[in-house]
């Protein structure tokens, strides 16, 4: 069995679904079901004896100890995190609690469990920490992409809290010998993406005839990674990655935000035409967010060189799959758009003055 934290979130849920589609090895799935954790994403696993879901918090040491002792996992895959930069600006305390204190608590519970295992099981055990490229800070237009040795320069409460969690994982390996793996990924997109992030927000707002908010001049550049490719990369690292190493996972798809929005509008014009005109008419430039990093880019050559992984999707294929998935699953979108979500959108976007 593997133990997945945050397995009802966007990437975590995709990973659990992907894992159980490819393997009969059971998954213990712990998620606090905060705003971004959604059991609807795991609906297809109802009644599946391989999926053991527990609602709980990674800061709850007693719960972690009980679950580890009861289920005896051979690996922990740690997704659980507060993960939206804008939310971290409005409320940084939750990010420190979950991403820093939560990771510390999980590391300590895992260390106690791992230390009591027989020597052969200790050697085979893995703690896989899933992190982000945002810990590296911002790149200039001509700078080389982030490598695994790039200096950490986090610029938001979110990225600072993730950087802290990365450092804790590294320290627990070097100090206590815990067999860890860390992956830092670029911007994910795909099915089950909570509609406050750029791509699902644009799709949902466009279909509803609402404004499509673009921060600043829209020229912020991100490297886009289809979530199915990310899941495949994590499987490879968990299976064959070198203990103590970090692997950057990217999609080799650098795009400015405005191009992303325009591409989605063009796809919707094709797949769900609006008789009133192109969806691009809803694009609105709004005031930029504080400390907005200008460019991220991942150098994913290490994972390709050592483990043979590279993304299967181009941005063109991945974004088409993503738009089609949203069109095919209106019920999922409707159910995740709770009152809390609508209040958040009002706070973060509607109240912004036009740029």
Sheet (strand 126-132) strand order: 51-55, 27-31, 2-5, 75-78, 126-132, 180-185, 246-249
pLDDT tens-digit series, residues 226-254: 999 999 999 999 999 999 999 999 999 99
For β-strands 2-5 and 75-78, DSSP reports them as parallel
Burial tier of 7 (Cβ tally within 10 Å: 0-12, 13-18, 19+): buried
Average pLDDT over residues 301-330: 97
Give the percent of the chain with pLDDT over 70. 95
On whether the CB atoms of residues 80 and 31 are closer than 8 A, the answer is yes
pLDDT higher than threshold 50 for residue 127: yes
The H or E element spanning position 159 is: helix 157-176
CATH of 2-194+224-252+292-312, one of 3.40.190.10, 3.40.50.720, 3.50.40.10, 3.40.1160.10: 3.40.50.720
All structural domains of the chain with their residue ranges = 2-194+224-252+292-312
Catalytic residue numbers read 133-134, 158
Per-residue pLDDT at 108:
99
State both tokens at 119: 């020597």
For β-strands 246-249 and 283-286, DSSP reports them as unpaired
Per-residue pLDDT at 336:
80
pTM given for the model: 0.92
Query: Mean pLDDT lowest for which of 78-87, 234-243, 325-334?
Result: 78-87
């Amino acid at each position: 069995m593997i133990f997945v934290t945050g397995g009802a979130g966007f990437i975590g849920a995709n990973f659990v679904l992907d894992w159980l589609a490819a393997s009969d090895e059971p998954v213990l799935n712990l998620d606090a079901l905060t705003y971004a954790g959604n059991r609807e994403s795991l609906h297809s696993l109802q009644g599946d004896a391989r999926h053991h879901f527990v609602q709980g918090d990674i800061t709850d040491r007693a719960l972690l100890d009980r679950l580890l002792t009861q289920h005896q996992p051979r690996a922990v895959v740690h997704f659980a995190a507060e993960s939206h930069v804008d939310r971290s600006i409005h409320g940084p305390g939750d990010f420190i609690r979950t991403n820093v204190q939560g990771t510390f608590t999980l590391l300590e519970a895992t260390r106690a469990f791992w230390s009591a295992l027989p020597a052969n099981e200790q050697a085979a055990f893995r703690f896989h920490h899933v992190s982000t490229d945002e810990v590296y800070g911002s790149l200039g237009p001509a700078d080389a992409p982030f490598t695994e040795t790039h200096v950490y320069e986090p610029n938001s409460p979110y990225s600072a809290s993730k950087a802290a969690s990365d450092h804790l994982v590294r320290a627990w390996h070097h100090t206590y010998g815990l067999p860890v793996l860390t992956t830092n990924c670029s911007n994910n997109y795909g099915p089950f993406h909570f509609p406050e992030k750029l791509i699902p927000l644009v799709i949902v707002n466009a279909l509803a005839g609402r404004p499509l908010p673009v921060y600043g001049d829209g020229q912020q550049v991100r490297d886009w990674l289809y979530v199915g490719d990310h899941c495949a990369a994590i499987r490879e690292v968990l299976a064959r990655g070198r203990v103590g190493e970090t692997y950057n996972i990217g999609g080799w798809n650098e795009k400015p935000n405005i191009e992303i929005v325009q591409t989605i509008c063009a796809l919707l014009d094709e797949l769900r035409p609006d008789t009133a005109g192109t969806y691009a008419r809803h694009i609105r430039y709004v005031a930029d967010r504080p400390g907005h990093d200008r460019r991220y880019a991942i150098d994913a050559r290490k994972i390709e060189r050592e483990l043979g992984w590279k993304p299967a999707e181009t941005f063109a294929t991945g974004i088409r799959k993503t738009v089609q998935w949203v069109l095919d699953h209106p019920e999922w979108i409707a159910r995740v758009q709770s009152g809390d979500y609508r209040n958040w959108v009002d706070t973060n976007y509607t109240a912004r003055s036009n740029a």
